Structure 1
């Protein structure tokens, strides 16, 4: 897989003119971080899918105050796009290529997570090509 083949889902910020971001949010005491990622993705972007291996954890300060937050980023393999979802009236969702996501994503830590995802996907694809090439040459 080439980087140009990768599309990611971004959503608009609830605050007008504040850019695009990946779905995010907090998690409840009675749910896992992975379950929270799925719930927030349904609520904010209206998509359902499978959570994949975590990209990492980032610590960042709120733009409004000096509160320190911890962000965990997970890729979600989207299986279904819903026609209606809880935040449909306050957000837009958009599938864009990685190059565009780098430009429009407003948070540095989300951009770092994007780079890790691109690296993971392109490395897996190249490893897969090499594996299949070896198998073919062994025939």
Structure 2
């Protein structure tokens, strides 16, 4: 393990927006339990053979997966990897296949009703390969490895449970021929949307809602 010197990005000067939604990237971090080889599993055993990493927030008992704003100078994959490093102190492989896109709204923003308070969350599966012993947002987020069953109970948002379920389905499909390979780094091309650029992605009107998977 090592100590990470990276400082978290602050401010929203580079934040991307689309159709009035703040664009967010995140991941479901996972690893196999000791002695388990995921590529040799049968589908029904995946849920019992992995643990997932979640993070806490101050004064909260429930947990979330790492996520945060997608900015103009990075791809969505780079944003997801950066947020995992900043919030949870982890590095690993982001899988190319997107678990889905969800729209969410925080409790504080629900009160304000601001049209820019909605978030459009792009989520991926991440195979964790390195855990740092300290990270930039450690004072605000403690990490915790939990079983899939525990994660389903502890998720703060229903849409994160959906993302976890999509992650399980993705891992189950990895044993099938012709499945996509994972990415060891941000080698994929993903169009970066400016605040004035419209996307072909379906617009979301309900929160939380699974919009699409690619």
Place the TM-score, normalised by the shorter chain, in its bin. Answer: 0.7 to 0.9
Is 1:48 aligned to 2:91, yes or no? yes
- CA distance in structure 1 between the partners assigned to 2:52 and 2:136 by the alignment: 20
Within 2, Cα distance between the matches of 1:61 and 1:20? 16
Counterpart for residue 121 of structure 2: 71
Q: How many Å separate the matches in 2 of 1:72 and 1:124?
A: 20
- Normalised to the residue count of structure 1, the TM-score between the two structures is 0.84
Q: After the TM superposition, list the runs of 4 or more consecutive aligned residues in structure 1 that deviate by more than 6 angstroms.
A: none
1:38 corresponds to which residue?
Answer: 81
Q: Which has the higher strand share?
A: 2
RMSD of aligned residue pairs (Cα, Å): 1.5
How many residues in Structure 1 have an aligned counterpart in Structure 2?
Answer: 126
Unpaired runs of at least 5, structure 1:
129-139
Give the helix-richer structure, 1 or 2: 1
Runs (5+) with no aligned partner, structure 2? 1-40, 178-214
- Once residues 139 and 119 of structure 2 are traced to their aligned partners in structure 1, the CA distance between those partners, rounded to angstroms, is 27
TM value normalised by structure 2: 0.56
> In the alignment, which residue of structure 2 is the partner of 1:104?
154
Residue 130 (structure 2) aligns with: 80
Determine helix, strand or coil for the equivalent of 1:42. Answer: helix
For 1:121, which of 155, 166, 171 is the aligned residue? Answer: 171
